Structure 1
Amino acid sequence: MKIIIIGSVAAGTSVAAKARRNDENAEITLYNADYDISYSICGIPYFLGGEVDELETLTPRSAAWFKKRYNVDIHTRHEVIGIDTDKKSVTVKNLDTSETKQDNYDTLVFATGATPTTPPIKGGDMKHVFHVRNIQNTATINSFMVSNNPKKVTIIGAGFIGLEMAEQLTHKGLEVTIVQRSNQIMPHLDKDMASRVEEHIRDNGVNLLLNEEATVITENAVQTKSGNVIDSDIVILATGVRPNTKLAKEIGVELGASGAIKVNPKMQTNLSDIYAVGDVAESFSIITGKPIYRPLGSTANKMGRIAGDVITGGDLEHRGILGTGILRVFDLAVGYTGLSEKGAKTEGFDIEVLHNIKPSRAEYLGGKELIIKAIADRKTSQILGVQIVGEDGVDKRIDVFVTAISFKAKAEDLFHLDLAYAPPFSTTKDPVMYTGMALQNAIDKKNKLITPQELTDRIDSGERFQIIDARATKQYEVSKVDGAVNIPLAKLRDEAKNLDPNIPTVTYCNKGVTGNAAQNVLKNMGFKEVFNLSGGNKNYQSFKRKL
């Protein structure tokens, strides 16, 4: 059997490695237009920022290494420029000599990856304007920075690469400005969580411009649609990527709703003996079953392994993804998985939303706050999505939530998890466990929750609420929810007689625990409808700052 793979970064090399493990006799050839194979695109910002010393660290494997270990022929600087599906042949161009040749296949795999999008900005092709896309490009950026010693950088786009570059170049001593067209960073986050990260970015000296659009790049500035002129010695384009589907489209490969190649769970396209994997291929959501496109190295590796197994007679299948992501932004880690609140509503779910603010481990051992936003389906109690922002322990918790959602866990299941506990690592009731407990109580209507957004919207629409601040008076005097009256928890039983039990009531404290206790007091005293403010006053004040 002759397998030809087009592309040899994460997905392509994974196809080859798995196919070889299954079949020692298969002839496996990879054609790659780039100079390098199997490199870490995600590590590039950390080299440019100086956190990774040597660029070669990001290219741990060469074509020679693959040949020796897997008996796989990898031809770099060779581009497949044509495919004849009837003859099962490809036309390959040597980019160094311009010579072409024909090669035949039994099975063909598209692992052509994705290309950074280039926004229509005048001056976008100038020599100090760069995408962050591959090893050769990274060497060029580094050479430019060494030769020109730039002081000011403008980054266009506030997704993963844009924020990672902002962090790294700030550490390197550059003055950083981010220009973002939309009203928030990281589009997969809800606005209330993204705003926390935006505040942190600004606190670290980055000039973050939202609802701004770069229109012109000159030798020393970036001009925006609103008339801002940003001094810039170097410009980074970080406006996302698009799948490299041109060659596939030419031969009739079907594209999916996302614009990437449509594949079935075995990574097969609509054409016989042709597969697609990695950033060129579409995945699907574990939750909704609908197409989803998330170009990440982890997904690419998984897809490649599945295709390599299927091609050589195996029975692996792709089970979908949750769109999980995690990012370090200065001292914060930002993780998310599954559906956002906005996404869940768009899909028609009736959702419960919890903001849980808890320390990552014992505070007396330096535990830092985690802000967890969790979304669950009221009908089934299943967890639909989670977003977490914090300095410590985010990766550990997001991975627990990923596992739980993947296995369709209900909110109550989280509380019953036997998670590892010791004060240096967790609290006695881990934030994951508390999240499940509070969500289930809300779903069961034992302890109803209301978000700051929902409370504000309902008041604006004319609804009347009693809002009770159950904290100490000193805390109330510093900051409070609009319209709240201060009745500390210790006095609530006596003073509840001055309240109307028939008016919807909201209780809150700083983060939620005392507010929950106050909620239980009023419920037990016969109050008709009592909500606990999700995330307490801390969450409310963060919400107010973003308005």
Structure 2
Amino acid sequence: MRVVVIGYGTAGQTAASFAKKFDENAEVIVIERHSYPIYHPCSLPMVLSGKFSLDELYERKPWPGVEVITGAEAKEIDKERRIVKYEKNGTYNEIEYDSLVLAMGLKPTFPPVKGMDLEGVGTVWDIESVKNLKIGDKVAVVGGSATGIEVSAELSKTGRKVYLFEMMEQLMPGKVDPPISSLVAKKLTEMGVEVRVKSPLREILGKDRVEGIDVGERIDVDSVIVVTGAKPNSDLARKSGIEVGETGGVKVNERMETSVKGIFAAGDVAEVRDLITGLPTTTGLASTALVQGKVAGCNAVGGNEVYKGALSPFIVTLGDYQFGGVGLTSSQAERLGIRHETMRIMASDLPKYNKERDRVVLWAVVGEDGRLLGAQIFGKREVRGRLMFLTLAIEMGLRVQDIRKIPIPYHPDICDVNDPISMLSDVFHLIHKS
């Protein structure tokens, strides 16, 4: 049996390796457009501060038994003949498959403004884009996404003057609610980043290279990094007659199988079901791409794995702090007409006698029946661990008051005995006791 995987990001790597794990006799071949087999895009912002070098982000050895054809771009899928046509070094080739996994990921989107072609304008997307960056002393980062925030934070460590511009009213719109977003903006400001919201990019100014930007006023900068968004890289699927959904992602069922039998999709290119709302969604997260890749890879060699739906947990670093979220935000719930309430807990992350203690903020979105629908956390310690706990709680359909009797590991060097999650549950229980 031959499994062909298009794309070797997180979803493609996982699908290929799990296909080989579950059927060691399967022939697994990957078509990857980059000239290198594996890299880690989530670490690219840290390259800008010198924490990592680009060379450290490469992994040159694919999974044992998996053949990776690098520098190759898939151009067409012939569903009837079960053939993928791809181009490498100007030569067109064909490869037959028994099962096919689409893992082409996302492609960046840029605002249609004048000046995008000036020297000094770049993005942080892949190894090549970071290599091509020409960063001066005054940098405008356009886009208040997770990438924009991390790029700004990392550049601030280098002593440069950094501006962060977001067209919406808050950073991370649609991903976190205003109370958490305001904490993020405040921390960035403390790090020396000048944060401007409600500031859409109108034009990049300059003759041959960047001299400034227009965001309703002129700001003089000598370089611009644009990280304004991305969309599923689904053009190949659409052109090949594979159904693409309303989000722009390739439609899949719970087995990660597309509208064409024997063709699967996983990761950022796939349109899946939101676990809470049941609505179609795309995730754009390595964590969900990993899980989807496991399901697609196993099923590509005859398995019957099921992907229940996306909760999309994420975490972002911000100097010594982190923030993240999972599930629905309050703004999403309101837009969808889902009746809910919100709760906010601010607590110490270590015992009060510990001089290193700091505050952690937990924001929860709770449904009418008391079920946890979403949560966001900002703090210095244990953000990831708490998000993992809350992700599991949402997936299991737990009510907030159910959480109060679950013991949470304690050590005074790591956390306080009464964890903020337990405190939130206790407060909710007392409010709704009657």
Q: What TM-score range do you get, normalising by the shorter chain? A: over 0.9
Moved more, 159-168 or 257-266: 257-266
**For residues 25 and 139 of structure 1, what CA distance do their matches in structure 2 show?**
39
Structure 1 residue corresponding to 2:416, chosen from 403, 420, 427: 427
Checking the alignment, whether the CA contact within 8 Å between 1:376 and 1:439 is kept in structure 2 is no
Checking the alignment, whether the CA contact within 8 Å between 2:165 and 2:200 is kept in structure 1 is yes
Q: How far does residue 225 in structure 1 lie from its aligned partner after superposition?
A: 4.5
**Corresponding position: 1:123 with 2:115:** yes
Structure 1 stretches of 4+ moved >3 Å: none
| Structure 2 spans left out of the alignment, 5+ residues | none
Residue identity matched to 2:57? L
Checking the alignment, whether the CA contact within 8 Å between 1:381 and 1:443 is kept in structure 2 is no
Residue identity matched to 2:147? I
**Corresponding position: 1:331 with 2:320:** yes
Checking the alignment, whether the CA contact within 8 Å between 2:272 and 2:310 is kept in structure 1 is yes
Structure 1 residue corresponding to 2:240, chosen from 251, 254, 264: 251
Checking the alignment, whether the CA contact within 8 Å between 1:352 and 1:439 is kept in structure 2 is no
Q: How far does residue 441 in structure 1 lie from its aligned partner after superposition?
A: 2.4
**For residues 115 and 406 of structure 2, what CA distance do their matches in structure 1 show?**
55
Which residue does the alignment assign to 1:205?
A: 192
Structure 2 residue corresponding to 1:261, chosen from 229, 232, 250: 250
Checking the alignment, whether the CA contact within 8 Å between 2:140 and 2:223 is kept in structure 1 is yes
Residue identity matched to 1:287? I
**For residues 59 and 439 of structure 1, what CA distance do their matches in structure 2 show?**
47
What do you get for the CA RMSD once the two structures are aligned? 1.5
What SS is found at the alignment partner of 1:264?
coil
Checking the alignment, whether the CA contact within 8 Å between 1:35 and 1:76 is kept in structure 2 is yes
Checking the alignment, whether the CA contact within 8 Å between 1:49 and 1:171 is kept in structure 2 is yes
Which residue does the alignment assign to 1:531?
A: none
> 1:197 and 1:421, CA in 2 relative to 1: closer, same or farther beyond 3 A?
same
Which residue does the alignment assign to 2:357?
A: 367
**For residues 141 and 302 of structure 2, what CA distance do their matches in structure 1 show?**
46
Which residue does the alignment assign to 1:393?
A: 382
Which residue does the alignment assign to 2:32?
A: 32
What SS is found at the alignment partner of 1:345?
helix
**For residues 341 and 202 of structure 2, what CA distance do their matches in structure 1 show?**
41
Structure 1 residue corresponding to 2:87, chosen from 86, 93, 104: 93
Structure 2 residue corresponding to 1:109, chosen from 84, 101, 105: 101
Checking the alignment, whether the CA contact within 8 Å between 1:414 and 1:435 is kept in structure 2 is no
Which residue does the alignment assign to 1:56?
A: 55
**For residues 249 and 238 of structure 2, what CA distance do their matches in structure 1 show?**
10
Checking the alignment, whether the CA contact within 8 Å between 1:286 and 1:319 is kept in structure 2 is yes
Checking the alignment, whether the CA contact within 8 Å between 1:89 and 1:105 is kept in structure 2 is yes
Structure 2 residue corresponding to 1:184, chosen from 162, 170, 175: 170
Give the TM-score normalised by the residue count of structure 1: 0.76
% identity of equivalent residues? 29
Give the TM-score normalised by the residue count of structure 2: 0.95
Q: How far does residue 440 in structure 1 lie from its aligned partner after superposition?
A: 2.5
What SS is found at the alignment partner of 1:363?
coil
Checking the alignment, whether the CA contact within 8 Å between 2:121 and 2:210 is kept in structure 1 is no
Residue identity matched to 2:87? K
1:149-160 equivalences under 5 Å are 150-160=136-146
Q: How far does residue 326 in structure 1 lie from its aligned partner after superposition?
A: 1.1
What SS is found at the alignment partner of 2:151?
helix
> 1:175 and 1:122, CA in 2 relative to 1: closer, same or farther beyond 3 A?
same
1:128-527 equivalences under 5 Å are 128-141=120-133, 144-145=134-135, 150-187=136-173, 188-217=175-204, 218=206, 219-226=209-216, 228-365=217-354, 366-378=356-368, 380-444=369-433, 446=434
Checking the alignment, whether the CA contact within 8 Å between 2:142 and 2:228 is kept in structure 1 is yes
Q: Map Cα deviations across residues 143-201 of structure 1 (whole Å, 9 max, x no partner).
A: x34xxxx1011011010110000011110111101111101001111122211211222
Moved more, 194-203 or 116-125: 194-203
**For residues 401 and 150 of structure 2, what CA distance do their matches in structure 1 show?**
36
Q: How far does residue 405 in structure 1 lie from its aligned partner after superposition?
A: 1.0
Residue identity matched to 2:394? I
Q: Map Cα deviations across residues 189-238 of structure 1 (whole Å, 9 max, x no partner).
A: 11222112112222222111111111221223333242x11222221111
Structure ID, larger Rg: 1
Q: Map Cα deviations across residues 56-81 of structure 1 (whole Å, 9 max, x no partner).
A: 22112x2xx22xx5222111111111
**For residues 184 and 376 of structure 2, what CA distance do their matches in structure 1 show?**
12
Residue identity matched to 1:320? G
| Structure 1 spans left out of the alignment, 5+ residues | 447-547
What SS is found at the alignment partner of 2:132?
helix
Higher-strand-fraction structure: 2
**For residues 42 and 363 of structure 1, what CA distance do their matches in structure 2 show?**
35
Larger relative contact order, structure 1 or 2 (CA cutoff 8 Å, min sep 6): 2
Higher-helix-fraction structure: 1
What SS is found at the alignment partner of 1:321?
coil
**For residues 92 and 351 of structure 1, what CA distance do their matches in structure 2 show?**
49
Checking the alignment, whether the CA contact within 8 Å between 1:212 and 1:224 is kept in structure 2 is no
Checking the alignment, whether the CA contact within 8 Å between 1:357 and 1:370 is kept in structure 2 is yes
Checking the alignment, whether the CA contact within 8 Å between 1:352 and 1:443 is kept in structure 2 is no
**For residues 287 and 15 of structure 2, what CA distance do their matches in structure 1 show?**
14
What SS is found at the alignment partner of 2:394?
helix
**For residues 50 and 314 of structure 2, what CA distance do their matches in structure 1 show?**
23
> 1:443 and 1:343, CA in 2 relative to 1: closer, same or farther beyond 3 A?
farther
